[in-house]
Amino acid sequence: MIALLWSAGAWAQPDTLYITLENIKYPYPVNFLPLKVEGQDVRMAYMEVKPINSNGKTVVLLHGKNFGGYYWNNVIKALSEKGFRVIVPDQIGFGKSSKPFIHYSFHQLAVFNKKLLDTLGINKATILGHSMGGMLATRFTLMYPTMVDKLVLEVPIGLEDYRTFVPYQSAEQDYLTELKTSYESIKKYYQTSYFVQWKPEYDYLVKIGAGVSKSADFPRYAKVAALTFEMIYEQPVCYEFGLLKVPVILFTGKQDRTIVGKALLSEEEKAKHGQYQLLGPATAKKIPNCKLIEFDNCGHIPHIEIPEVFLKSLLSNL
């Protein structure tokens, strides 16, 4: 088995990736939590990184839709060096976790994450969610407010209700779209939505996203991707921001142009939505105790695009 190497310039990868990323080496050891859902035995992958000198606090990192725990490396390192215990789950349906055919919902994923924290003996944590993870982090906080000491949203999606302007597609239609996934299609989407300027070091994100498309099990992966797209589309959290009762830090990139279902829109519609320089301030006003931090010349993934700036700001606000 060929593993991915994390040192600079040492990228090595097979052409085909397993849909549960067995041949991807994560930055820290991976454990698994057994779960049962809709009569199926599944397992939830997670990293648990303990600090040398603990400050007694825990941070949970929730990944975005197109990612898994592998892209949190620098954030985990920075947090653990400052004394935080860091928990990094791969959600069911993503990363190294099982890919079952189930009804995906943010409520259900929140239950799984609570089960993980309960199992690890964690009753209070800061929840940091990026992109789709921001929607999940919001739902988790609404469901379990006493478990959250602070909610941190890193450029979350779902700041607008996609149902109001993105044409509806069935899960079957989304599945057929997902089957067309290629290296070129993924790279084009990441370039036009996620980053202000593309750099070669971002290629590993595309390689992981595209590598699974060559697996014999890719139809399962594509079906799950369609089901989770449906979850994002049909289960907005933007109407409930005003119900949050914990301190919230909202990070946004002013050049972010992410829209879930962007390919279904005309150029005119694309210009009206996904405008994070407007969505950030508008969202912050909805949240009772919110601090908005905006990054210039940054897109959808600040912890990768402007890592030093993001980490300095994150650590100073925890």
Summarised one tens digit per residue, pLDDT across range 137-156 is 999 999 999 999 999 999 99
pLDDT band at 52 (very low <50, low <70, confident <90, very high): confident
> What is the C-alpha separation between 128 and 132, in angstroms, rounded?
11
Percentage of the chain lying above the pLDDT 70 cut:
95
pLDDT of residue 193: 84
Residue 227 has pLDDT above 80, yes or no: yes
CB of 232 within 8 A of CB of 159? no
pLDDT of residue 8: 33
pLDDT, the chain, mean: 94
Tell me what the mean pLDDT of segment 171-200 comes to.
93
Summarised one tens digit per residue, pLDDT across range 79-123 is 999 999 999 999 999 999 999 999 999 999 999 999 999 999 999
Summarised one tens digit per residue, pLDDT across range 286-299 is 999 999 999 999 99
pLDDT of residue 10: 33
Tell me what the mean pLDDT of segment 185-199 comes to.
92
pLDDT band at 15 (very low <50, low <70, confident <90, very high): low
Question: Helices 218-234 and 132-143, interaxial angle, to 10°?
Answer: 60
Residue 14 has pLDDT above 80, yes or no: no
Tell me what the mean pLDDT of segment 200-218 comes to.
93
pLDDT of residue 228: 98
- Where in the chain are the domains? 30-316
- CATH architecture for the domain at 30-316: 3-Layer(aba) Sandwich (3.40)
Least confident range from 124-128, 157-161, 204-208: namely 204-208
Tell me what the mean pLDDT of segment 178-190 comes to.
92
Summarised one tens digit per residue, pLDDT across range 148-181 is 999 999 999 999 999 999 999 999 999 999 999 9
> What is the C-alpha separation between 89 and 108, in angstroms, rounded?
14
Residue 135 has pLDDT above 50, yes or no: yes
Tell me what the mean pLDDT of segment 197-221 comes to.
94
